[in-house]
Chain A
Amino acid sequence: MNHLVRAGLLLSGVLFFVFVGVRVIPIPSFMADFGFHPRKTETNTLAWANLPLQYAQTSTCSSCHKDNHALWEKGDHKTVSCENCHGPAVAHLETGARPVMDTSRKLCSTCHAQLAARPYDFPQVDTATHGGQAACITCHNPHTPRAGMPPRVPHDCEDRTNCQSCHNPHEPLDVVPPIIPHTVEGRTDCLSCHGPQGTRGNALPRIPHTLEGRTNCLLCHNSGGLKPFPADHAGRTNANCLTCHRSKEG
């Protein structure tokens, strides 16, 4: 029987080699990439990382277009990147091809058409009536869209109808907030120009300290004081600081 046991052992050794060993040697190691848990993904990650760009970034544009950049960075559109409106810029960099841009009302209204779902303080207009049907760029320079426009109302207009009860053209300036800089004769609807759209609720700087025990603002904030008020505040007294500026605690 001994020779049969030997033969059996030899045979099982050979079979093990045929079915297991043979499989390991000729299968190339990269086959594991197709498996359940791929070990090597670097090649593909690099391929994704090296795809060509279409959009550049605003600083790329401003390195050449300095004049428009200077306008833009001071205007209300300073948060809107160049390529948002002008389209991807890399082709322009590489071939000099001018980016094609939509200058119609349609492009502006993608952001500025009135929609209930938009945040309340985002500037929106009724595109059916605002400015007739003229192209927006007839009045607005897209790089600085509020240039030459009437100033915004710096507070919420809700429930306020009589602007002149505060902004009376005949009252002296030190009693009330800004005097109206033009005649109000024949004008009744202030909001038709100074629309409630685009009001900046809390745009005025808050007082960064508490007011406890302090009554004389001008002690520090008079011209020549520790921290003087801005030049356009000339003529205002302690009585009306809090009309516009709120203190830290509320």
Chain B
Amino acid sequence: MKISRRDFIKTGAGGVLGGVVAYSLPSILRILAQPGNAELPVSAAVIGEPQWEKHHWGFIADTEKCIGCGRCVVACKQENKVPWDEEYNRTWVERYVITEDGETLVDSPNAGRDGFAEATKNSEYQNLEIRKSFFVPKLCNQCEQPPCVTVCPVGATYRTKDGVVLVNQEHCIGCRYCVQACPYGARYMLPDAAQTHFGQVRVVDKCTWCYHRIQKGLLPACVEVCPVGARVFGDMRDPESPVRKILREKRVYVLKPDLGTEPKVYYVGFEKGVH
């Protein structure tokens, strides 16, 4: 059989076209059947309607009030299924010791989980000339310009509309790039043995400011249990919120401001060397 060049091209193109249409048919039908597929409806599963645009959360950590009891660490671990071991923490407490020589020493035995009273390191400080010492509560700063979100290669970590950085643990591939990128050490990997909320291990977990609590009008667990008011949480859009009140009345600073991450954890009680 002899076939002209024109017929060959016609037949070939027709065949390819037909194949494409046949192959695409299911997805075309799916798109036609669900015209609103592009935006998932925000279901009303949360108590009340989510009002993500109405809030912008902020956090105060007061180094002048913190007593280093570590109850915040305990509450956080219990509220958020954070593994009990010392290396996995969404929040922790550091003790800064500044010697007469100007040297700054930092320790955080068991991340502050058991308090500092019986810490073995206390004896190491016995022979030092100490100028001052104080406690600094640490947690995710929920940066306005979060480097962890920028570096995530799969878009698994993101900022919500009310300013909290969350991780989609079902999309996280566990590459640890964000753990490296966070200048505050606020992220950790869930170990194999962990009981997790979404059943995922070897993925990244971090402080959510107890997103499930604040959406229901409760305080984050660490703020709820703090006995001295060293942790304060509130809505920055509300001029009467306790956070805005402290921001009005006190001088505050943020950790590593030079990095341009624009943290939203504001520290009361500035001291050179705290980072």
Decide if A109 is an interface residue (CB 8 Å cutoff): yes
**Which of chain A's residues has its CB closest to B21's CB?**
A25
- Knowing A50-B46, A53-B212, A110-B70, say if A44 contacts B166 (CB, 8 Å): yes
Query: Chain B residues near A49 (CB, 8 Å)?
Result: 46, 50, 211-212, 215
- Knowing A52-B212, A119-B67, say if A46 contacts B46 (CB, 8 Å): yes
**Interface pair A40/B24, CB less than 8 Å apart:** no
CA distance A168 to B272 in the complex (A): 46
**Interface pair A3/B6, CB less than 8 Å apart:** yes
Contact with B along A47-61 (1 / 0, CB 8 A): 111111111111000
Task: Please report which residues of chain B, range 53-106, place their CB below 8 angstroms from some CB of chain A when the two chains form the complex.
Answer: 64-65, 67-71, 75, 78-79, 95-97
CA distance A52 to B24 in the complex (A): 42
Contact with A along B209-232 (1 / 0, CB 8 A): 001110110110100111111000
**Interface pair A110/B42, CB less than 8 Å apart:** no
Pick from A7, A51, A79, A118: contact of B229, CB under 8 Å: A79
**Interface pair A55/B211, CB less than 8 Å apart:** no
Decide if B193 is an interface residue (CB 8 Å cutoff): no
Query: Chain A residues near B226 (CB, 8 Å)?
Result: 84
CA distance A23 to B219 in the complex (A): 47
**Interface pair B115/A110, CB less than 8 Å apart:** yes
**Interface pair B155/A34, CB less than 8 Å apart:** yes
Contact with B along A217-245 (1 / 0, CB 8 A): 00000000000000000000000000000
Decide if B195 is an interface residue (CB 8 Å cutoff): no
CA distance A87 to B221 in the complex (A): 11
Number of residues of chain B lying within 8 A (CB) of chain A: 73
**Which of chain A's residues has its CB closest to B221's CB?**
A55
Decide if A41 is an interface residue (CB 8 Å cutoff): yes
Task: Please report which residues of chain B, range 186-222, place their CB below 8 angstroms from some CB of chain A when the two chains form the complex.
Answer: 197-198, 208, 211-213, 215-216, 218-219, 221
**Which of chain B's residues has its CB closest to A34's CB?**
B154
CA distance A117 to B135 in the complex (A): 6
Pick from A21, A48, A117: contact of B166, CB under 8 Å: A48
Decide if B5 is an interface residue (CB 8 Å cutoff): yes
**Interface pair B6/A38, CB less than 8 Å apart:** no
**Interface pair A45/B166, CB less than 8 Å apart:** yes
Which of B9-17, B177-185, B234-242, B259-267 participates in binding chain A? B9-17
Residues in A lying within 8 Å of B, measured CB to CB: 3, 7, 10-11, 14, 17-18, 21-22, 25-29, 33-38, 40-58, 77, 79-81, 83-84, 87-88, 106, 109-111, 113, 115-119, 122, 127
For the complex of A and B, 4 pairs with smallest distance between CB atoms = A113-B117, A110-B115, A117-B133, A51-B212
